Amino acid sequence: MKVSGIDTRGGQHCETTALGVLLRHEGLELSEPMLFGLGSGLSFIYWDAKYLDFPFLGGRVKPFELTRNLTATLGLALDVRETSSPRKAWSNVTDALDAGHPVGLQLDSYHLEYFTSKVHFGGHVVAMYGYDEERAYLVDTAPQGGAVTTSPDSLAKARTAKGPMTAKARSFTVRVPSGGVSVQDVRDRLAPAITACATAFLNPPIANLGHRGIAKAAKLVPGWLSRCADPGRDLPQAALLMERAGTGGALFRNLYRDFLAEASTLDDSPDLRAGHALYAEAAQLWTGIAELIGEGALEEAGARLGEVARVEREAMGRLSDFSACGA
């Protein structure tokens, strides 16, 4: 059984890829950067813990927060199901598919048969549009293949995995209101989405987050060699995660830069134009930082992180003042 009319294009980021599939089926076409920006998806976290082999640099909000933000911002109907029962988890999905609706799933990508990187990540999101006795039909990011399949058994393991960032077999559907979402609706929701993202970034509750987290990373990254069991493996892996692990490049800053560029075509605001220019600068800095980390040039990477903390703080300061023209 497959839901008809599914556009299986894969994007750069898993959550926006899945949302794109669900929304296009509902007749709402938004670019991946626009989905990311309206979902207030940009963030930063420096995370280190005893259970981690190596510190983690994250560039987005926690898994599924983007989906909740986006649907609330645009007034979409979000139906979320979670359960500890494998039987109920499967029926939650098949009931929606049998009714003609693709479904979003949060799961641990480690168990997916097609996945190219065998590491545990419980915050991965895919769209599912069909199933039979042998295969589940999914849409993942373009780097993972776009339209892909995995066995029902592997999918069940991925959905019921336990660990950091996992959920209880979370599945969800999204419905667009009967009146649809117009260009004016999108324009009207730019300011709330942008200012919410900026406010959170500028006022993080702990020093690991937002601009404070980037400044903290600037101080700690030069000492990463003491955290490396194998520098030749760990440092290039960290750089790879920043550039190619579903981030769209530059630790999600490319996506946010492109969102601000598109937003500027809908609202000719000086604050938006300034934010876009600064995030174009930040994106270049982040790509350079990833290269330096991969090469083991940690002192220079730390210096660049201090610079990007300043650039992003200035950018978010301008964006926190944004209000729609004529508002």
Helices vs. strands in the chain: H and E counts, helices first: 11, 8
Q: Any residues with CB less than 8 A from the CB of 214 and at least 6 apart, and which?
A: 44, 46, 305, 308, 309, 312
Q: Is the dihedral of CA 304, 287, 283, 10 positive or negative?
A: negative
Domain boundary among 175, 206, 223: 175
Cα(35)–Cα(14) distance, integer angstroms: 12
> Does residue 164 lie within any of the structural domains?
yes
> Does residue 302 lie within any of the structural domains?
yes
Domain boundary among 175, 206, 227: 175
Amino acid at 255: L
pTM: 0.96
- Taking all residues of the chain, what is their mean pLDDT, rounded to a whole number? 95
**DSSP H or E stretch at residue 23:** helix 14-25
> Does residue 3 lie within any of the structural domains?
no
> Does residue 273 lie within any of the structural domains?
yes
Q: Any residues with CB less than 8 A from the CB of 71 and at least 6 apart, and which?
A: 77, 78, 174
Question: Does residue 180 have a pLDDT over 90?
Answer: yes
Question: Does residue 327 have a pLDDT over 50?
Answer: no
Among candidate residues 180, 182, 285, the one with its CA nearest the CA of residue 242: 285
Q: How far is CA 133 from the centre of its chain?
A: 31
Cα(153)–Cα(135) distance, integer angstroms: 9
Question: Can you tell me the mean pLDDT for 271-290?
Answer: 98
Number of structural domains in the chain: 2
Q: Any residues with CB less than 8 A from the CB of 319 and at least 6 apart, and which?
A: 194, 195, 197, 198, 260, 271, 272, 275
Least confident of 119-123, 263-267, 310-314: 119-123
Q: Any residues with CB less than 8 A from the CB of 276 and at least 6 apart, and which?
A: 257, 260, 261, 263, 264
Same domain assignment for residues 209 and 154: no
pLDDT tens-digit series, residues 51-99: 778 899 999 999 999 999 999 999 999 999 999 999 999 999 999 999 9
CATH number at residue 149: 3.90.70.10
Domain boundary among 175, 200, 227: 175
Q: Write the DSSP symbol of residue 2.
A: B
Cα(152)–Cα(206) distance, integer angstroms: 40
Dihedral angle at the C-alpha atoms of 48, 51, 54, 56, nearest 10 degrees?
-50
Contact status, residue 218 vs residue 306, Cβ threshold 8 Å: yes
Q: What is the maximum alpha-carbon separation in the chain?
A: 57
Provide the residue range defining the domain that includes 245: 183-319
Contact status, residue 128 vs residue 173, Cβ threshold 8 Å: no
Task: Say what the pLDDT of residue 325 is.
Answer: 52
Predicted confidence band of residue 31 (pLDDT cuts 50, 70, 90): very high
Task: Say what the pLDDT of residue 50 is.
Answer: 79
Same domain assignment for residues 149 and 228: no
Same domain assignment for residues 224 and 105: no
Same domain assignment for residues 160 and 192: no
> Does residue 63 lie within any of the structural domains?
no
